[in-house]
Structure 1
Amino acid sequence: MTYAKILGFWLAIPVVEGVLAYGLAWLLLDETIPDTLSIPLLAGAVGYALANIQLSFLPAPQSEQGSIAGVISRQFDVASTGVGEAGIALVGSAIALLTVAVVHWQLRRDVTTGINRMLVALALVVVFTSGGSQVGLATGPLESVFESALSLPSLYLLGLGGLGILLGGWFRSPRLIQAVAREYASLGPKRSIAAFIPAFLVAQAAIALGYPISFNKVMISSIVGAGLVGGSSGSGGVSTTKTGYTVGAWIASMVGGGAISFALYHVLAALPGLG
């Protein structure tokens, strides 16, 4: 049942990401809707989500993780008896409104600068989300070794994952940056915003549900969806050939990875002393 849910989530990612990114790109590129309205509202939605995501270093009663909204609500006794969830939602809404106000103020001062700052902030949020997802995937199989065989806390495992993703980003990311920036679609600032927001929300939903996902699939689906929208702010220029090859690689990697792991398990199980 768990595998069926994960597989269903995987299959839904390209569709959900593409539709959301397409809709947001259409909204942002619509010249009848002012940027000082659409962009702050989207920033507020991201702010609300950030205020409510579970973070391992934040305390929470009867829980392993807490959220920014939860900590603030308890600190100021907003989440009083009987209205705990409502109090957390109230704090989250306040953070969202503050985000809307700040972004609106930036855009009123200078639209171009405000959009660029919004884009950089979203990129940092997406990188943060990607790190949590990918480090968890890469180091998850090592947890039992660290805790039982080495008697080391999970913090060391997280440090190892953080170091690995830092070195990987330093040495291996330039080629992928070029591919994502130019080969799938030609994205301007507004299309990039439209691609980042669904990627962040879907990836956070997967983390909350405990479903391992490919962040490459999440990001590329958003980029393609945003690139499909026409408009005067630059054409999307979606490459159907590149996208087709990528979809084929996704399918091949899923099937091939499962088949290779299955075969290696049986080979190692048949060896003396390893069965």
Structure 2
Amino acid sequence: MSSVIGIVSVALVASLFMSFTVGANSNSAPIAPAVGANALSTLRGALLVGLVAGLGAIAQGGSISETIGHGLVTGVTITPLAATATLLTAATLITIGNSRGYPIPSAFTVTGAAIGAGVALGGGFAVMTYAKILGFWFAIPVVEGVLAYGLAWLLLDETVSDTLSIPLLAAGVGYTLANVQLSFLPAPQSEQGSIAGVITRQFNVASIGLGEAGIVLVGVVLGLLTLTVVYWQLRRDVTTGINRLLVALALVVVFTSGGSQVGLATGPLEAVFESSLGLPSLYLLALGGLGILLGGWFRSPRLIQAVAREYASLGPKRSIAAFIPAFLVAQAAIALGYPISFNKVMISSIVGAGLVGGSSDSAGVSTTKTVYTVGAWVGSMVGGTVISFALYHTLAALPGLG
């Protein structure tokens, strides 16, 4: 019994270490365009990363945590020892990349490590799950790049007024935010609720004969409210309005990144919390949120600088073009329960927006840096699988642990 408690304790520490690493690594990327556009200082950006990503982890982290904990291997339940091997492997590889200035994709690393430990435990490969996740991963650079390029082209087109294009894009973000599922909002059948859903029920919008369309109507109203606020900000001062929107979008994306990344740290412990501790997963998400907060505060400035300055130098409009696709793709991943790398999401958007030329809004993409990073992505997943497999067998062979 004491050995089980010891292993669970080590697994909890490993999860905290992993969430700290995620906060320093993946959650720093979304704030980078705002820093690169000089709308935020690096240190203020790091402070906001910790606070907002930690909140997002608790509010939206459940679906991806479930996939990592139960969906990557078949026929076995992840044990505390396997969870420890997974988390130690992934966190170590990511920390090494972080210290060298290369943002290693947490999703690739954790997924590979979880598969390696699960197979070492005697589990089988969840082939259909891998196919869906890999398909989503392969689609990210294409979708992100095309969307970011198109939005950057629109925003940099001098024939289109900023007071038209920017508020319309902000309205789309507002509508999406109104409909995202949040753990702390009530909903029927104990499901997660959305802002639009809560308002619909609170004011009994369905009673006017709209039914489920009432939620859509409320979302549209909130989107139009966002459009109005942004429009009047731009009417007062275009530069100030753009910078304020840029910071607001940065915080929205950081919040989303917390929800999409915390599951990478907490997922391996889902089964442990259910079987060994008998605690609800919300406590596990809170632990991950704490680690993300601390990681964002203490370790993110280096990665913020790397993404903001070295991959592409973006002006404010290109940064807006980079944020919106990242937000939409990450929310789709959360809804589907697919683990993603937020570094990959942000870098794809940054590269797409940076490829639009012919403007005073500064640009430039480092091909060499991008190629090295892609190599690190592939290596981290393969290496995570092999190392985690070997580490599990090593730990299992130790007296009192096997």
Global fold match (TM > 0.5): yes
CA distance in 1, matches of 2:159, 2:316: 18
Deviation digits for residues 227-264 of structure 1 (CA, Å, limit 9, x no counterpart): 11113233311111111111111111122112223333
Q: Does 1:177 align with 2:304?
A: yes
- Among 294, 299, 307, which residue is 1:167 paired with? 294
Normalising to structure 2: TM-score of the pair? 0.65
**1:87-166 map, 5 Å:** 87-166=214-293
Q: Secondary structure at the match of 1:65?
A: coil
Amino acid at match of 2:185: L
Q: Secondary structure at the match of 1:120?
A: helix
The alpha carbon displacement at 1:161 in A equals: 0.9
Mapping of 1:1-275 within 5 angstroms? 1-80=128-207, 83-267=210-394
Does the 8 Å CA contact 2:261/2:342 hold for their aligned counterparts? yes
- Maintained 8 Å contact 1:80/1:87: no
- Contact conserved, 1:27 with 1:38, CA < 8 A, in 2? yes
Q: Quick one: which amino acid aligns to residue 178 of structure 2?
A: A
Q: Which residue is equivalent to 2:39?
A: none
Once the two structures are overlaid, the 10-residue window that deviates more, 25-34 or 227-236, is: 227-236
Deviating more after overlay: 90-99 vs 230-239: 230-239
What secondary structure sits across from 2:154 in the alignment?
A: helix
Structure 2: stretches of 5+ with no match in the other structure: 1-127
Q: C-alpha root-mean-square deviation of aligned residues, in Å?
A: 1.8
Structure 1 distance, partners of 2:386, 2:320, is 38
Q: What displacement does 1:84 show?
A: 2.9
Residue aligned with 2:188, SS: coil
Maintained 8 Å contact 2:317/2:361: no
Structure 1 residues 157, 109: CA separation in 2 closer, same or farther (over 3 Å shift)? same
Residue 157 of structure 1: how far off its partner (Å):
1.4
Q: Distance in 2 between matches of 1:81 and 1:252?
A: 56
TM-score (norm: length of structure 1)? 0.94
Amino acid at match of 2:360: S
The letter for the 2-side match of 1:40 is P
- Tell me if structure 2 keeps the 8 A contact 1:29–1:233: no
Secondary structure of the residue aligned to 1:84 is coil
Using the TM superposition, name which of 142-151 and 63-72 deviates more: 142-151
SS of corresponding position for 1:62? helix
- Could you tell me which amino acid in structure 1 is paired with residue 349 of structure 2? S
- Comparing 180-189 and 81-90, the one that deviates more: 81-90
Greater RCO structure (CA 8 Å; 6+ sep): 2
Q: Give the distance between the partners of 2:316 and 2:374, measured in 1 at CA.
A: 25
Task: Determine helix, strand or coil for the equivalent of 2:206.
Answer: coil
Per mean C-alpha deviation after superposition, the further-off stretch among 155-164 and 91-100 is 155-164
Q: Equivalents in 1 of 2:208, 2:388: separation in Å?
A: 51
* One-letter code aligned to 2:276: A
Shift of 1:83: 3.6
Give the number of aligned pairs.
Answer: 275
- Give aligned-pair identity as a percent: 88
- 2:335 and 2:149 map into 1 onto residues whose CA distance is 24
In structure 1, the residue matched to 2:7 is: none
